[in-house]
A and B are shown apart, each in its own frame.
Chain A
Amino acid sequence: DIQLTQSPSFLSASVGDRVTITCRASQGISSYLAWYQQKPGKAPKLLIYAASTLQSGVPSRFSGSGSGTEFTLTISSLQPEDFATYYCQQLNSYPRTFGGGTKVEIK
């Protein structure tokens, strides 16, 4: 199985901050990576797919980059509604796997 390691696992930030979350794969997965946002008690919401393609309706302050084994999700200016947990997922091979999550909290 491909392991995905997210860092940090916890992040404290202020509104307006630039935030970067990293996802590292245990082996190369090209650009077969997606990012999701999950708020408490809610289903995950797709933000980014194919490593850098923004899902329709997702604000442009979210962006994704990377290829191979290292990927990043960046929020250019953190908004109050962005406080949530973020997960990466690889769809390069089976079984599909998720990173452990990064919880973004208000400083």
Chain B
Amino acid sequence: QVQLQESGPGLVKPSGTLSLTCAVSGGSISSSNWWSWVRQPPGKGLEWIGEIYHSGSTNYNPSLKSRVTISVDKSKNQFSLKLSSVTAADTAVYYCARVNKLVTMVQGVINYYYYMDVWGKGTTVTVSS
């Protein structure tokens, strides 16, 4: 059973860089899955940050793209998030999640139905001086 665990500083100063790691256990980060980051500001909804494949391919939310870097470390079976130039608006619970997929073929056309099926418990990051 794959499990995910986020770790990193709970307090980051304004204009600094938020750095978090998601450790994958019970499975390999080199499986055919994408690995994602999602955040949730206090009392608000969910925001997709981005994702990475074990090859290093990434997709980012354009609203954060200039400040976000997601990387993978296959030797440690983990992936990481860096968010630079943080402000109070980046205060949130940060979740990592596995992106799984259902593959179907209809009339010769392959469809990939992605979904986030395994989530970490989340880690709270506060941006404050």
Residues of A at under 8 Å CB distance from B?
1, 31-32, 34, 36, 42-46, 49-50, 53, 55, 87, 89, 91, 94-101
**How many Å from the CB of B27 to the closest CB on chain A?**
16
Kindly list chain A residues whose C-beta atoms are within 8 Å of the C-beta of B45: 87, 98-101
Known contacts A43-B95, A49-B102; decide if A91 and B115 are in contact (CB<8 Å).
yes
Partner of A97, one of B48, B95, B114, B117: B48
Residues of B at under 8 Å CB distance from A?
36, 38, 45-48, 59-63, 95, 102, 113-117, 119-122
Partner of B116, one of A31, A34, A53, A94: A34
**How many Å from the CB of B120 to the closest CB on chain A?**
7
**How many Å from the CB of B69 to the closest CB on chain A?**
16
Measured in the bound complex, the distance between the Cα atoms of B56 and A69 in whole Å is 32
Known contacts A43-B95, A100-B45; decide if A95 and B61 are in contact (CB<8 Å).
yes
Contact of A44 with B120 in the complex, beta carbons under 8 Å: no
Kindly list chain B residues whose C-beta atoms are within 8 Å of the C-beta of A94: 59
Measured in the bound complex, the distance between the Cα atoms of B102 and A38 in whole Å is 23
Measured in the bound complex, the distance between the Cα atoms of B113 and A42 in whole Å is 25
Measured in the bound complex, the distance between the Cα atoms of B47 and A87 in whole Å is 11
Measured in the bound complex, the distance between the Cα atoms of B59 and A53 in whole Å is 25
Minimum CB distance partner of B59 in chain A: A94
Kindly list chain A residues whose C-beta atoms are within 8 Å of the C-beta of B62: 1, 95
Contact of B46 with A91 in the complex, beta carbons under 8 Å: no
Most buried by A among B59, B102, B119: B119
**How many Å from the CB of A101 to the closest CB on chain B?**
5
Contact of A32 with B63 in the complex, beta carbons under 8 Å: no
Measured in the bound complex, the distance between the Cα atoms of B65 and A95 in whole Å is 11
Kindly list chain A residues whose C-beta atoms are within 8 Å of the C-beta of B59: 94-95
Contact of B115 with A46 in the complex, beta carbons under 8 Å: yes
Kindly list chain A residues whose C-beta atoms are within 8 Å of the C-beta of B119: 43-45
Contact of A89 with B102 in the complex, beta carbons under 8 Å: no
Measured in the bound complex, the distance between the Cα atoms of B100 and A49 in whole Å is 10
